[in-house]
Amino acid sequence: MIWGTGILNGFRISIRNWMRGPITVQYPEQRIELPERARWTVTHKLNPDGTPLCNACLVCERECPDHVIRIEMSKNEDGSKTMHKYIYEVGACMMCGLCVAACPQSGIYMSHEYELATADPADLTRVLLSDIRVPGKNSNKEETDA
Amino acid sequence: MNDAVRIAIRIGAMLALLLANGVVLIYMLRKVLGRLHIRIGPNRVGPFGMFQTVADVVKLLAKEDLMPDSADKALFWIAPFVVFVPSFMAYIPLAFGPNLAITRLDTGVLLLLSVISLIPLGIAMAAWASNSKWSLVGGMRAIGQQISYEVPLMLSVLGPVMMAGSMDISEIVEAQRDVWFVLPQFVAFVVYIIAAQADTQQTPFDMSEAESELITGFVNEYGGMRFGFMFLAEFSNMFIVSALGVALFFGGWYLPFLAENPTALALGPVIFLVKTYLGIFVMMWARGSQPRIRVDQLLAFSWKALIPISLTWVVVWACIQRLVIG
């Protein structure tokens, strides 16, 4: 029944809210810390010398349910690979993290970059890596042997 | 100073009070509702968003004055004033301090309540003239509600009037020098606060506006300052019922135990306004806490609960006053 204690309870709850004070976060002046496991854009991990861990194995490209990752690469005669472009369609990415889970090199991770709006739709297609030479298995072996 | 100038000054003061009040109350409503909903409220225009209402008024003034093609032109044009003028007139008998009133009237309470009861006429005109179903439904609800709740409002006022033996608001306040009428007249006070909330169409009882169903009801077709007048009248009514409640039940400009203190007497108008704004805060608190009820529940509550209670209280208090007090 509406005329019962519910009315008083309503008053109590709203004045308790008054005492709590606003919980509004005034973005962009105020920002909250993202939780550690927040998943935003796919980003490459780098070796200490600045080269990417990625070896162009194409697993992430195959794994991606939305086909937002596209790798353009070619194989060289000596068994090494040249990755021309690592293309990432951030506008279509749903941040599921399957590519990160699938990566055998653990070469990519989901970053905390969440302000993804752009003025130009073309900016939503990002080239994350370009013109990277990846040593092949044989050349790797030669190096370690030497 | 001749009479014409004096009257002009008084009318100007009333108008200034009404307009300033409207601006302050709209800002206060937004801030209070914001805090009650754990939000901040307006905070962009000026310090603490204080000029938000000013910006809104400028916007309303600058807007095009639209009139629907199929509206009843004359009625549509005149209706906002018929809503606004009674609300304006209701300031006449209000007493803000000892010797500070627009006019002292022997029948102040009666005048106030009777001009307030003219507002449904303006609402009916607006609702009908708009020639829109939303407006008409909202208007019918508003009229039914206001007429239903005026009866308990007037009956609840009778208790303090009987105790003071006068309908002059200043005399009623004077009679509360020692004891505020809210203590002996608690039943009447409860009826008054509910009926006042319903009569001014504040949220638990705002079926006439019902943003989610009727898209603001009878003001639906109004825009610009014509809408502004309706809106202003609504906030001014809030102030009026709160001020009347303070005068009738909470001792007007008197503080408890300090009735003879000269400083407290000098600060009378300030005390009166603070009490009035506290009353308005309670109305806004109810607005931020309670869900809207159904229109048939609302009318049933008035006719089946509030009116019998207030009638019984009038009879009981009349007997007490006659037999016990003497």
Residues of A whose CB is below 8 A from B48:
none
Asked whether residue A96 is domain-assigned, the answer is yes
Asked whether residue B213 is domain-assigned, the answer is yes
Asked whether residue B86 is domain-assigned, the answer is yes
Asked whether residue A2 is domain-assigned, the answer is no
Q: What is the pLDDT of residues B86-128, one digit of tens each?
A: 888 888 888 887 777 778 888 888 888 888 888 888 888 888 8
**Across chain B, what does the average pLDDT equal?**
85
pTM to 2 decimal places: 0.78
Asked whether residue A143 is domain-assigned, the answer is no
Asked whether residue B107 is domain-assigned, the answer is yes
Q: What is the pLDDT of residues B65-94, one digit of tens each?
A: 888 888 888 888 888 888 888 888 888 888
Asked whether residue B62 is domain-assigned, the answer is no
Taking one residue from A and the other from B, the number of pairs with CB-CB distance under 8 angstroms is 39
Partner A contacted by B38 (CB < 8 A): yes
Q: Measured between alpha carbons, how far apart are the two ends of chain A, in Å?
A: 86
Chain center to CA of A137: 28
Structure tokens at A77: 């005669």
Residues of A whose CB is below 8 A from B35:
17-18, 21-22
Q: Which domain holds residue B288?
A: 67-325
Residue B297 to residue A23, Cβ atoms within 8 A: no
Q: Are A80 and A134 in contact (CB under 8 A)?
A: yes
Asked whether residue A29 is domain-assigned, the answer is no
pLDDT for the residue numbered A138: 56
**For residue B242, which phi and psi values (nearest 5 degrees)?**
-70, -40
A→B interface, C-beta within 8 Å: 2-3, 7, 10-11, 13-15, 17-18, 20-24, 26
Sort B205 into a burial class: Cβ within 10 Å, 0-12 / 13-18 / 19+.
buried
Cis peptide before A28 (omega within 30 of 0): yes
Number of domains in chain A: 1
Asked whether residue B25 is domain-assigned, the answer is no
pLDDT tens for chain A, 146 residues long, are 555 788 888 888 888 888 888 888 888 888 888 898 889 999 999 888 888 888 888 899 999 999 999 999 888 888 888 889 999 999 899 999 999 999 998 889 999 988 888 899 888 898 888 888 887 765 554 444 44
Q: What is the pLDDT of residues B203-233, one digit of tens each?
A: 777 776 766 666 677 787 887 788 888 888 8
Give the residue-averaged pLDDT of B15-44. Answer: 87
Asked whether residue B272 is domain-assigned, the answer is yes
pLDDT for the residue numbered B312: 92
Q: Which of B35, B290, B293 sits opposite A22 (nearest CB)?
A: B35
Partner A contacted by B289 (CB < 8 A): yes
Q: Which domain holds residue A118?
A: 34-137
Closest-CA distance, A12 to chain B, in angstroms, reads 9
Residue A23 to residue B301, Cβ atoms within 8 A: no
Asked whether residue A11 is domain-assigned, the answer is no
| CATH number of the domain within which A42 lies | 3.30.70.3270
Q: Is the ipTM here above 0.90?
A: no
Asked whether residue A17 is domain-assigned, the answer is no
Structure tokens at B60: 């309303």
> What distance in Å separates the CA atoms of residue B322 and residue B326, rounded to the nearest whole number?
5
> What distance in Å separates the CA atoms of residue B305 and residue B151, rounded to the nearest whole number?
12
Which of A1, A7, A14 to probe by mutation at the B interface, max B CB count within 10 Å? A14
pLDDT for the residue numbered A98: 93
Q: Which of A3, A15, A23 sits opposite B285 (nearest CB)?
A: A15
Asked whether residue B92 is domain-assigned, the answer is yes
Q: Which residue of A has its CA nearest to B36?
A: A18
Partner A contacted by B186 (CB < 8 A): no
Whether residue B45 is predicted with pLDDT greater than 80 in this model: the reply is: yes
Structure tokens at A113: 């970059």
pLDDT for the residue numbered B202: 76
Under the banding of pLDDT at 50, 70 and 90, the label for residue B52 is confident
pLDDT for the residue numbered A144: 46
Which residues lie closer than 8 Å to A44 by C-beta, 6 or more apart? A52, A53, A54, A86, A107, A108, A128, A129
Q: What is the pLDDT of residues B297-309, one digit of tens each?
A: 888 888 888 899 9
Number of domains in chain B: 1
Asked whether residue A110 is domain-assigned, the answer is yes
Residue B40 to residue A24, Cβ atoms within 8 A: yes
Could you tell me the CA-to-CA distances from A37 to A34, A52, A110, A112, A128 in Å, in that order?
8, 22, 9, 9, 22
Q: Which residue of B has its CA nearest to A11?
A: B289
